[in-house]
Amino acid sequence: MDNAEIFILTDSDGQEHEFQELFSFDSEDFQRSYIILEPVDEAETQEIGVLPFIYEKDAEEGMLQPIETDEEFAMVEEVMNTIFNDPKLR
């Protein structure tokens, strides 16, 4: 993904980390968009893994929001598992 958008996220220690978009999708059930990020640095990939967020594309600030409910997280996890386990979708 050569033209993937890069996001800079700050951890609880104030350290900045670069993430790139792995994929994004919209949910009709929740009326939201979601984005899955992966660390740009390969060393962090094993340590951190992928991170899912609610993605508010048009927001000037706070475009990435945490997933709010267990039901919503289960849906996102199901989409991630489907994409990660189907080589045609990668």
* Residue 1 covered by a domain: no
**Does residue 83 lie in a domain region?**
yes
Kindly report, residue by residue over 50-68, the tens digit of the pLDDT: 999 999 988 877 799 999 8
Mean pLDDT by 10 residues, the chain (90 residues): 79 91 94 94 75 89 90 96 81
Question: Residue 66 falls within a domain, yes or no?
Answer: yes
| Burial class of residue 1 (count of CB atoms within 10 Å of its CB; 0-12, 13-18, 19+) | exposed
Is 76 within a domain?
Answer: yes
Six-digit token string for 64: 């990435």
CA distance 88 to 90: 6
Alpha-carbon distance 8 to 20, whole Å? 9
Q: For the chain, how many structural domains are there in total? A: 1
Predicted pLDDT of residue 90: 60
Where in the sequence is the domain holding 29, given as residue range(s)? 6-89
- Report how far Cα 7 is from the mean position of its chain's Cα atoms: 10
How does DSSP classify residue 41?
S
